[in-house]
Amino acid sequence: MTLSIAIQHRFKGFALDVNFDAPPGVTVLFGPSGSGKTTLINAVAGLLRPDSGRIAAGDWVLMDTQARRFLPPHRRRLGYIFQEGRLFPHLSVRQNLAYGRWFAPRYARSEPMAHVVDMLGIGHLLDRRPGALSGGEKQRVAIGRALLAAPKLILADEPLAALDEGRKAEILPYFERLRDEVSVPIVYVSHSPAEVARLATTVVALKGGKVAAIGPAAQVLGDVGAVGARGAASVIRARVVAHHDDGLTELATAAGALWLPRLDGAPGAAIRLRIAAHDVILSRDRPQGLSALNILAGTIRDIHLGNGPGALVTLAFGDDTLTARITRRSATILGLAPGQTCHAVLKSVATAPEDVGTLRQHSTDRAPD
Amino acid sequence: MGGEWANWLGPAEWQAVRLSLRVSFWATICSLPLGVLVAYALARWDFWGKQVLNGLVHLPLILPPVVTGYLLLMVFGRRGAVGQFLDQWFGIVLSFRWTGAAVAAAIMACPLMVRAIRLAIEAVDPKLEAAASTLGASKLWVFATVTLPLILSGIIAGAILAFAKAIGEFGATITFVSNIPGQTQTIPSAIYAFLQVPGGESAASRLVIIAVVIAMTALVVSEVLARRVARRVAGS
């Protein structure tokens, strides 16, 4: 189900003007605060009424100012996961979970409660009140509540932003399972490149209320214009080869072997890695006698010089690309130019666990409903 | 026990107590739905004339009660615009009846009730209501399943305050419906009447004790409920 969004809205010195189509899967709205992410997702939810425009999922029109159609939020069949959970304080966890389900049409209640409770590991919390839950537990209940509403569209507004790193690492896999197991389009707001890299089928980079870039994660995260040189990163695909006794996991990529601290995936599992551009060093020749384990050879595809002292160099290995952020001076001294063969060096510890996500191809023929 | 109580109060005093309870009960019950609606409108809606409505609701608090009573007489009296209409079409007469006393008490208690309920509504996070609407609840369902449970203690607190205020109402009542034993003589009117006759002090003081007990009980109960509202909204 393609998500088509074309809306214009202005209020107090801010104007949102976007127009894009996103293919099925997870559409991540990405950008700094104030870029219009939350305004946009609230327009999709119907909590905000844009001045003009049209929002549709497939042929299901949520709003269209020309046709004078505006579905109120309660008729949009949503599962909205908020940053602060927004669990009902006067209801138990069980009642919170059942809330959306009660309003969903009977025929649509396909997801058994037990399955969702099981997947989110919240069985022991059912009789508690939200006030007695930790941040991570609240957020898992909020996810469950949204899923059990039998939504035709799942929305998530920075669902991990209020959590510490440990909790994030605990919740993020649930969203990956959602993406891979539930055939409902997901719109996910985030300003974290790590989340984008792990979850996104499509990234919509917003800047000042406009779409700065749209495309697959690897493409948009490497787009300096969209994310800025500091945020530049690459997303590369890899396969788990083996877990070794010294605590490292061996991965196979299009560019050769990578060694990372122990990951979760079973041998054979496909994963995605986000590698920040500033964690990559370049060398013209294959380096010798270096402590870093990961050396990948590729071809220079692009050199982007900004206004500052930095330069972004993008290497291509097959379909994947890897971007390095180096100084303009180094680029000159090394005499780098597109088409050259170059070696990228990354320390094995440079990739944080939160940057490693599971990957499953999202097939476009998997029809929702 | 019941017998001793009955003997402690004379028949005229009993009559006043019973009438006061009846008047205050009906004044509270009938003004409650309207009070919730007005409080909700003031807390959540933006509309033309909001400040006028707010002023109107609070007017009885600052006007001399005698003035309120006189205005009621002008509007709801047999010759009043609304009173004439009610009398001719429905046969309802408010002036000099206990029902009129209930109307006067309700209007005088209105500011307290609306204020308590409005505070409770303002303490409810609108984001929770938005969350409920995304989960499929229409506006009415959102109110019934999220807003109402969260403000319930506030409503009860407001109702109790209104009840206590209604018990004590004097000026508007005596102006609008006079001081007829068994018909419109509530506790305060009875106290006033007893103090006008020689030897009535003991009867008056017994009613004073009852008035104090009712007022104190109402305050304590509403305080407890207000605290529960705070705890509930905080979510523990």
For chain B, say whether A290 makes contact (Cβ under 8 Å). Answer: no
Assess whether A277 and A344 both reside in one domain: yes
Confidence check: pLDDT of A231 > 50: yes
Considering only the beta carbons, identify the residue of B127, B142, B233 that sits closest to A86.
B127
Beta-carbon separation of A103 and B235 below 8 A: no
Q: Is the pLDDT of residue A248 over 60?
A: yes
Q: In what order do the strands lie in the sheet with A248-253?
A: A256-261, A248-253, A233-243, A270-276, A356-358
Kindly give the pairing relationship between strand A78-81 and strand A153-157.
parallel
Mean pLDDT on A252-270 = 80
B144–chain A Cβ distance below 8 A for any pair? no
Please report how many Cα atoms fall inside a 13 Å half-sphere around the Cα of residue A170, on the Cβ side: 16
When pLDDT is cut at 50, 70 and 90, the band that residue B230 belongs to is low
Closest partner residue to A80 among B134, B146, B236, by Cβ?
B134
B124 touches chain A (CB under 8 A): no
Please return the burial class of B236, using the count of CB atoms within 10 Å of its CB with bins 0-12, 13-18 and 19+: exposed
Q: Which residues of A touch B148 (CB under 8 A)?
A: none
| pLDDT at residue A367 tops 50 | no
CB A60 within 8 Å of CB A152: yes
Across the range A182-204, mean pLDDT stands at 85
In the structure, what pLDDT confidence band is assigned to residue A362 with cuts at 50, 70 and 90? very low
Amino acid letter, A321? T
CB–CB contact B150 A89 (8 Å): yes
Report the length, in residues, of chain B.
236
Facing residue for B137 by CB, picked from A74, A77, A82: A74
B229: in domain:
yes
Residue A295's domain comprises 233-354
Beta-sheet pairing, A153-157 with A186-190:
parallel
A99, A109, A143: which to substitute to probe chain B, counting the most B Cβ within 10 Å?
Answer: A99
Q: How many domains does chain B have?
A: 1
One domain, residues A96 and A153: yes
Please give the share of chain A, as a percent, with pLDDT higher than 70.
90
Residues B106 and B25: their CA atoms lie apart, in Å, by 10
Q: What is the pLDDT of residue A357?
A: 62
Whether residue B2 is predicted with pLDDT greater than 60 in this model: the reply is no
A98 touches chain B (CB under 8 A): no
Residue with tokens 């920075």: A158
Phi, psi angles (nearest 5°) of residue B106:
-60, -45
CATH number of the domain to which A311 belongs: 2.40.50.100
pLDDT at A356: 62
User: Closest chain A residue to B131 measured between Cα atoms?
Assistant: A86
Asked if A25 and A117 sit in the same domain, the reply is yes
Chain A contact for B154, CB < 8 A?
no
3 state SS of A310: strand
Residues of B in contact with A146 (CB under 8 A): 135
CATH number of B132's domain: 1.10.3720.10
B161 min Cα distance to partner chain A (Å): 24
pLDDT in tens, A22-38: 888 899 998 888 888 88
Secondary structure in 3-state letters for A29-56: EECCCCCCHHHHHHHHHCCCCCCEEEEE
Inter-helix orientation angle B11-44/B201-234, to 10°: 30
Q: How many domains does chain A have?
A: 2
Greatest mean pLDDT among A190-194, A242-246, B36-40, B86-90 lies in B36-40
Measure CA of the first residue to CA of the last residue in chain B; give whole Å: 42
| A80 contacts on B by Cβ (under 8 Å) | 131, 134-135
Q: Has residue B207 been placed in a domain?
A: yes
Residue that terminates a domain, selected from A205, A229, A253: A229
The CA distances from residue A186 to A1, A76, A178, B115, in Å, are 11, 14, 9, 43
Domain assignment of residue A208, yes or no: yes
Calculate mean pLDDT across residues A272-293: 80
Same domain, A68 and A180: yes
Q: Which of A229, A255, A282 is the last residue of a domain?
A: A229
pLDDT tens, residue by residue, B131-146? 999 999 999 999 999 9
For the entire predicted model, the pTM comes to 0.75
**Do A240 and A222 belong to one domain?**
no
Which pLDDT score, from 0 to 100, does residue A1 have?
A: 76
Cα separation, A248 vs A244, whole angstroms: 5
Which region among A147-156, A259-268, A355-364, B175-184 has the lowest average model confidence (pLDDT)?
Answer: A355-364
Please give the structure tokens belonging to residue A81.
Answer: 């996961």
In a domain, B44, yes or no: yes
Q: Which of A40, A41, A22, A113 is nearest to B134 (CA)?
A: A41
The pLDDT value given to residue A61: 92
Q: Which of residues 7-46 of A touch B (CB under 8 A)?
A: 45-46
Asked if B136 lies within 8 A of A90 by C-beta distance, the reply is no
Is A225 in the same domain as A237? no
Q: Distance (Å, rounded) from C-alpha A231 to C-alpha A277?
A: 8
Minimal CA–CA distance to A52: which of A44, A64, A39? A64
How sure is the predictor about A84, in pLDDT bands with cuts at 50, 70 and 90?
confident
Last residue of a domain, one of A229, A256, A273: A229
Verify that A349 and A333 share a domain, yes or no. Answer: yes
Q: Does one domain contain both A109 and A249?
A: no
A369 pLDDT band, cuts 50/70/90, is very low
Q: Would you say the ipTM is above 0.95?
A: no
User: In this structure, are residues A156 and A188 in contact, taking their beta carbons and an 8 Å threshold?
Assistant: yes
Kindly report the nearest CA distance between residue B136 and chain A, in angstroms: 4
| Least CB–CB distance from A45: residue in B132, B134, B235 | B134
Does A47 touch chain B if contact means CB atoms closer than 8 Å?
yes
Token pair listed for B75: 């509007």
A174 plus A96 within the same structural domain? yes
Q: Tell me whether B136 touches chain A (CB under 8 Å).
A: yes
Q: Are residues A302 and A174 in the same domain?
A: no
Q: What is the pLDDT of residue A366?
A: 35
Task: Report chain A residues whose CB lies below 8 A from the CB of B128.
Answer: 86, 88-89
Is A82 in Cβ contact with B127 (below 8 Å)? yes
- Locate tokens 């996961």: which residue? A81
Residue B140 at interface with chain A, using a CB cutoff of 8 Å: no
Question: Does residue A365 lie in a domain region?
Answer: no
Given a cut of 70, whether residue A329 has pLDDT beyond it is yes
CA dist A330 and A346 (Å) reads: 17
Asked if A132 contacts A349 with a C-beta cutoff of 8 angstroms, the reply is no
Q: What is the pLDDT of residue A275?
A: 82
For chain B, say whether A273 makes contact (Cβ under 8 Å). no
Co-location of A153 and A185 in the same domain? yes
Q: What are phi and psi of A212, to 5 degrees?
A: -85, -30
Q: Is B141 on the interface with A (CB under 8 A)?
A: yes
Say if B137 is an interface residue toward chain A (CB within 8 Å): yes
Which residues of A are less than 8 Å from B135 in CB distance? 74, 78-80, 99-100, 103, 145-146, 149
**Is A89 within 8 Å of B136 when comparing Cβ atoms?**
no
Question: A82–B235: do the CB atoms touch at under 8 Å?
Answer: no
Q: What is the nearest CA distance from A84 to chain B, expressed in angstroms?
A: 10
| pLDDT value at residue B1 | 45
* Partner A contacted by B230 (CB < 8 A): no
Contact of A283 with A366, CB cutoff 8 Å: no
B2 part of a folded domain: no
Q: If you measure CA to CA, which chain B residue comes closest to A104?
A: B136
CB A2 within 8 A of CB A22: yes
The parent domain of residue B119 ranges over 10-234
Structure confidence by residue, pLDDT tens digits, B201-228 = 888 999 999 999 988 888 888 788 777 7
Distance of alpha carbon A148 from alpha carbon A116, whole angstroms: 8
Query: If residue A285 lies in a helix (H) or strand (E), which one and from where to where?
Result: none
Interchain pair B235, A130: CB under 8 A: yes
Going by pLDDT thresholds of 50, 70 and 90, the confidence category of residue B92 is confident
Q: What is the pLDDT of residue A359?
A: 53
Q: Note whether residue A366 is domain-resident.
A: no
The shortest C-alpha distance from A22 to chain B (Å) reads: 22
Share of chain B above pLDDT 90, in %: 40
